[in-house]
Structure 1
Amino acid sequence: MALGDGARYPHAIHAGLAPLDGDAGPGWLAAPRGRLLAHLLARARGGDRLGARLAITTPSHLSRLVRAAATASILREASLGLANLDPSLSAKAPSQPQCAFAMTAIAASTFAFGLAPAFTLAVVSLSMTCFFLASIWLRLFAGAASTACGQEPFRARVEDRRLPVYSVVAALHREARVVPQLAAALDAIDYPRGKLDIKLVIEHDDRATRRAIEALHLAANYEIVVAPAGWPRTKPRALNIALPLVRGELLVIFDAEDAPAPGQLREAAERFLRAPRKLACLQARLAIDNIEDSWLTRLFAIEYAVLFDVLNPGLAGLGLPLPLGGSSNHFRTEVLREVCGWDAWNVTEDADLGLRLARFGYGTGILPSSTQEEAPARIDAWLWQRQRWSKGWMQTFITLTREPRRLVAELGAANSLALALTMTSLVIAPPLWPFFTALMVHDLCAGLPSPASALELIEVVLWMSAGLFGTGSILWLALLGMKRRKLLGLWPFLALLPLYYLLTSAAAWLALYDLILRPYHWHKTEHGLAKTSWQAMPALAAREAAVRPPSSEGKRDLSFGRGNDFQDAPTTQPA
């Protein structure tokens, strides 16, 4: 049974109705839900001969047929939607003017250093120190502002019937190990089942993850979307494939290893219902679940506490743009589609999207609810993950600086300056941190400074201020985050922060190398390796204890496009 030329993607999927090809037999294929299904069944029982005009199938089968007919356009939109809308907003766009500017600046600096090495070095050092000092002060202001962000216990006030449909999207790649844990966490969400629309996106050749999902006999509100082969092979591309399919007014992104608080969606929905439309995104707080795995996971937990319990709430409280975390981002679906979803070519799509929302005039708020995540416990796994993050931040920095005047016009001078300082701490500071630290230690070991000129005096004052305030801000923000996350018992591991920053610097240099050679390569982080997770085992036990019959919708649709080895074709029967 083939669809007619009038089947439009994705409208036919959402309408649950598509024309059929050929003159013989029914002219339409319908996949009714809820009241419409009950209405059609009542008409059939009343003697209405619908079968002559209408064939009935499952929503998943209709979705598969419509997607198969539109595979080429789906691939094009998923990879190039943002680049086609505005090339300057995508990491795919070439950056020849920026490269030319950078080469000119390097050549001019080299020439100046050859003529006056001491003066040139002093000017460069002063400039960088001023930027670093300003970014340190921004972090201190954000930390101070976060103390005013009170956290009242959430109490549900909206009745279930008033809650909007909520879509949950998780992009899974080689995640067979954690699929049961993810399903248990999603099943534990406190939200009306009939208003949950869950999309699990897997790659076309990921057989292991597909089998793991199929073995769970998931409920009918789960839909598995198999992404066809395409480039780039990134998480944002997979999310873009799912975006046109979601039915929810609101949408949240979770990672494979995530365990969100059960009330998180309800809390976000009530917040969105009360807030103006300009609040387009809510970032939940991320926390590390496997803290006890290694010294690295302990430091990762401290870093997350600083970012999600201190800095992000502070930046949001100050009304400044903030890069999103990679998970537990809650969106208004309409706005997300308006800004063209995710940039498939940016390997840190979360940071890019959060700042793009700000450029379009939308705000991001902080959701007090937490999501537990798994941190890499080994240095090699940590380096691969941090390398990808650093490369994505560099891509975002390049995108933002492509048209500086436009950026200032869109964000305003104050927000643009704050964003420049934020990106300085993410992109420029990490690779230079060991060199500035070594130089500062060298100068201190040489004895007390004795400036011989006004320029040297300014340089010494700025150096000492950066060192003192930088160290003080690191410790104060860390202790503040640890206190809020109840991690003060980890205080002895603060002594290892210099080593942690050294690893961060190494990851930044690896990211720069990777950005030059393979800018769109996605370094996969393995999950399900935690040894001390307190979140996963209770969730899995609860799922195993539940008696879950197979979905009434029959076999799940695990295909995307023609020629797929995993194609499932439920029998379509006339009404």
Structure 2
Amino acid sequence: MRQGLADRGQQSTALAVELGFLADHGHEPEALRQATILARIAGVPADEFVLKHGLIGETEFYRALAAELGLPFLAAPRLSPHVRYPDGILAGLAPLAGAGAGFVAAPHGAALAHLLKARSPGRLLAITTPSQLREAVFRVQAPLIAHRAAHDLAEKAPALATDVGYGQIVTLFMGLSLFSFGVGYAPGFTIAFLGTALSPLFLGMVVLRLSAPFLPERAVADAQRPRMEDADLPVYTVIAALYREKRVAARLLEALSRLDYPAAKLDIKLVLEADDEETPEALRAAGLPGNVEVLVAPPGQPRTKPRALNVALPLARGSLTVIYDAEDVPDPGQLRLAAAHLLQAPPQVACLQARLTIDNTDDSWLTRLFTIEYAALFDVFNPGLAAIGSPVPLGGTSNHFRTAILREVHGWDAWNVTEDADLGIRLARLGYAVKDLPSSTLEEAPGTLRLWMRQRTRWMKGFVQTATTHSREPWTALRQLGAFKFFSALVLTWGIVLSALVYPLFTGLFLGAWLFGTNQASGSRWDAALQASALILFLSGAASILVPACVALHRRRLWRLAPWLPLLPLYYGLVSLAAWGGLWELATATFRWNKTSHGLARTSRSGLVRSTMPGRPAPDR
């Protein structure tokens, strides 16, 4: 080799093999030595350290590697149609197109060190970058990738996949028609029958909601927990699906850069859609860190967030995986806390749900009520469900998974528009648990009724899909879950849907009977008993709304929102409208994904919500 090679061997013995060759290609040996030391402290290969920290550009690094090995560098390799997905990307090795064309490689870590030591490329004929290799595989295997992302669950576990067909929709609407006929023909009997039939679900919901505030809060004493060394931390994959998110793309990158986690151990994957031109432009303007990969989901159906997440899951390199939304601002210490929890938790704990909280609370009356709802759900109700071992319908973000288990359960259901709730129930059916993570992620709530209704209609449609999916084979679900978890799952799926659908009817009838029927003589003791039970159910239902909300405001120190509590019954009336809208969409646009627009917030409790497009002023308050 060159004369500099001998000098390097004498004065740079501390250099990692993965970096040593760079000394002959224009890089200072002392800087490489420092990078080697820092990589050892972080517990990562030295090449990954310099690339993920952006100390050396990816193209510059692999061009130097090609020159060192005397091999050509391919900026856009043409691959064989027989390239394996995702194995070729993960291994950094793929066959080139053409008979006897050999292989192209983008080696990293141990494979790179072995190649440099052996100096025998064998059938390896070219070098490329990991990004170019990934894009080349996506070009060749786009149909396969799209198919797996959409149908993997249905093909491997059909009993757990969404299958809402026309027959089920017709049955559902026939039931609603019979109910409407019964109300018109024999209202008293119909409503009494319906109330009696649904009362176990309603009472179950009341019991769960009223018991959750009184369960001991199992917060972690972080001050007493020793801080894990960087070398002991696992690689963490972060996945975020973005579609037309130019307003918040830069802010997401900023929020991820604030995470208190070694950058070289972050495997960040942003999944975009092929027809989205504005988000890539915003990301390029913001500047992509070295540990961020941009994946473009191949065209296909359905156009949903879970399908996009499924595109990224096979490529996850971390033993832990977290999902974030485009507008999220997670607590900087969230990944460290989640890693510490999962490393110490029993192996059946598959997921930790962090606590979502609304940041743009003061945008409107709707965002104030949304803040109360989220506080009650993520600070009181979900932690209570986790504490008693109930299934937990996940929130759509800040879910921290063991990657191996997430792959084992086949990821997300691409055809379910509330994929988070579905995955929470599926994990419980397969014997896994979801626990609470006492760490916050800031979210942006829709500030207008139109945007809120679009989002909530999708959620309620997805809950119907989830309820239908997991009650198709009730005896199988009962055997998998056991009696308590099975009933809890019914309450958290059908109970949520049905209570939302009948909320205005039952509330109106009850109030009408008590306000305008008090002068009528009771027909019988049976009528009196029904009236008394209706009163108990009404009052307990109201308490199940207000008590968790009050406890949540106390825990979040948001008592300034207390004057808005009387509007919660109106708010849940809007939820009922969204539930009926969800039924209509289930029949007319079963798998349509009503996208929520982000980056429209005008206020911020934390002071973090800003427009981060380059050269763009913050919105007026």
TM-score range, shorter-chain basis?
A: 0.7 to 0.9
Residue 168 (structure 1) aligns with: 238
Asked if residue 207 in structure 1 is aligned to residue 282 in structure 2, the reply is no
Q: How many residues align?
A: 536
Residue 177 (structure 1) aligns with: 247
Deviations 1:137-193 (A, max 9, x none): 221122222x34244236453221121111000000010110011000000011111
Residue 107 (structure 2) aligns with: 32
Structure 1 residues 395 and 499: CA distance shift in structure 2, 3 A: same
Residues 187-206 of structure 1 aligned to structure 2 (within 5 Å): 187-206=257-276
Residues 304-343 of structure 1 aligned to structure 2 (within 5 Å): 304-343=374-413
Deviations 1:240-259 (A, max 9, x none): 11111111111000000000
Residue 464 (structure 1) aligns with: 535
Asked if residue 486 in structure 1 is aligned to residue 486 in structure 2, the reply is no
Residue 208 (structure 2) aligns with: 138
Residue 363 (structure 1) aligns with: 433
Deviation at 1:124, TM superposition (A): 2.4
Distance 1:422 1:261 in 2: 28
Residue 232 (structure 1) aligns with: 302
Structure 1 residues 34 and 86: CA distance shift in structure 2, 3 A: closer
SS in 2 for 1:283: strand
Contact 1:190/1:265 (8 A) holds in 2: yes
Unaligned runs of 5+ in 2: 1-76, 616-621
Structure 1 residues 93 and 494: CA distance shift in structure 2, 3 A: closer
Letter in structure 2 aligned against 1:36:
A
Distance 2:380 2:588 in 1: 35
Residue 153 (structure 1) aligns with: 222
Residue 280 (structure 1) aligns with: 350
Deviation at 1:393, TM superposition (A): 0.6
Asked if residue 84 in structure 1 is aligned to residue 152 in structure 2, the reply is no
Letter in structure 2 aligned against 1:294:
S
Greater RCO, 1 or 2 (C-alpha within 8 Å, sep 6+): 1
Distance 1:402 1:184 in 2: 44
SS in 2 for 1:298: helix
Structure 1 residues 324 and 383: CA distance shift in structure 2, 3 A: same
Asked if residue 249 in structure 1 is aligned to residue 325 in structure 2, the reply is no
Distance 1:127 1:393 in 2: 20
Asked if residue 498 in structure 1 is aligned to residue 569 in structure 2, the reply is yes
Distance 1:97 1:377 in 2: 35
Deviation at 1:17, TM superposition (A): 1.3
Residue 56 (structure 1) aligns with: 127
Contact 1:190/1:266 (8 A) holds in 2: yes
Contact 1:190/1:263 (8 A) holds in 2: yes
Letter in structure 1 aligned against 2:387:
G
Letter in structure 2 aligned against 1:174:
R
Larger deviation, residues 417-426 vs 69-78: 417-426
Residues 393-542 of structure 1 aligned to structure 2 (within 5 Å): 393-448=463-518, 451-535=522-606, 537=608
Deviation at 1:451, TM superposition (A): 3.9
Distance 2:459 2:198 in 1: 23
Deviation at 1:98, TM superposition (A): 7.9
Larger deviation, residues 85-94 vs 6-15: 85-94
SS in 1 for 2:237: strand
Structure 1 residues 276 and 129: CA distance shift in structure 2, 3 A: closer
Contact 1:130/1:462 (8 A) holds in 2: no
Distance 2:190 2:455 in 1: 36
Structure 1 residues 220 and 111: CA distance shift in structure 2, 3 A: closer
Contact 1:138/1:421 (8 A) holds in 2: no
Normalised to the residue count of structure 2, the TM-score between the two structures is 0.81
Residue 329 (structure 2) aligns with: 259
Deviation at 1:127, TM superposition (A): 2.8
Of the candidates 363, 370, 385, which is equivalent to residue 293 of structure 1? 363
Larger deviation, residues 292-301 vs 452-461: 452-461
Deviation at 1:91, TM superposition (A): 1.9
Larger deviation, residues 258-267 vs 13-22: 13-22
Deviation at 1:20, TM superposition (A): 2.4
SS in 2 for 1:267: helix
Normalised to the residue count of structure 1, the TM-score between the two structures is 0.88
Deviations 1:348-394 (A, max 9, x none): 10000110011111100110011000011111111111111111111
Unaligned runs of 5+ in 1: 545-575
Residue 23 (structure 2) aligns with: none
Residue 16 (structure 1) aligns with: 92
Distance 2:133 2:211 in 1: 53
Distance 2:434 2:460 in 1: 22
Q: What is the CA RMSD across the aligned residues, in angstroms?
A: 2.5
Q: Percent identity?
A: 48
Structure 1 residues 450 and 125: CA distance shift in structure 2, 3 A: farther
SS in 1 for 2:286: coil
Letter in structure 1 aligned against 2:154:
A
Structure 1 residues 113 and 125: CA distance shift in structure 2, 3 A: farther
Deviation at 1:506, TM superposition (A): 1.2
Letter in structure 2 aligned against 1:152:
A
Deviation at 1:80, TM superposition (A): 0.9
SS in 1 for 2:222: coil
Asked if residue 349 in structure 1 is aligned to residue 425 in structure 2, the reply is no
Contact 2:464/2:494 (8 A) holds in 1: no
Residue 64 (structure 2) aligns with: none
